[in-house]
Amino acid sequence: MTGVQRTVTRTLVVLLAMFVFAFALVPLYDAFCRVTGINGKVENTAQALIRDSIDESRVITVQFITRGSAGLPWKLEVLNRQVRVHPGAATEVHFAFTNHGKEAGWGRAVPSVSPSEASLYMRKVTCFCFQEQRLDAGERYEAPLVFQLTRDLPDDIQTVTLVYTLYPVDDKTLAAKALANEARIIAVPRIAVPGGEA
């Protein structure tokens, strides 16, 4: 084999390896997240409560973390950073959105759960994360999260962390969604907040 043939063969092998790696990246990332317990994906549609007895012999700590995003002058605060729940019990927690910007805008809170295995046992009944949110300049409102950790949550999980990250939503995304939903964009009902706009 000549030097040119060897170079061409090596280049083709490297290109093939790059293609295979790029194709396998998403499944590899999902497997990595499962093993390390990060970036647990949560079902992002309303789910019914499981009407089962409450396991009062166990207490699970649920922590809430909120993060902002560049390009969105909003703040998302959780009013209770941590709650202790019994598996099977429905729990309600409130979050407050505030638009510190000078104009109205749209945003969306995207959830993740850690450890990722816990996401299989978390049911969200009511959540502001189901739809995009619109806030006027200076507007503040509270939004509820009603969730349930099911009784079959593994015994070795004692703490669950739910992280919400805010992302801006642009007009093109909203327009595409409006067309897909027959020109209807559903918003989470507003809850009046003392000292703020409803």
Tens of pLDDT, residues 97-153: 999 999 999 998 989 999 989 989 988 888 888 788 899 999 998 999 999 999 999
* pTM for this prediction: 0.64
- 3-class secondary structure per residue, 72-140: ECEEEEECCCEEEECCCCEEEEEEEEEECCCCCEEEEEEEEEECHHHHHHEEEEECHHHCCEEECCCCE
Q: What is the pLDDT of residue 34?
A: 60
Q: Where are the domains of the chain?
A: 1-36, 60-180
User: What residues of the chain score a pLDDT lower than 50?
Assistant: 43, 45-46, 179, 181-193, 196-198
pLDDT at position 129 is 83
CATH of 60-180, one of 3.40.50.300, 3.30.70.980, 2.60.370.10, 3.10.690.10: 2.60.370.10
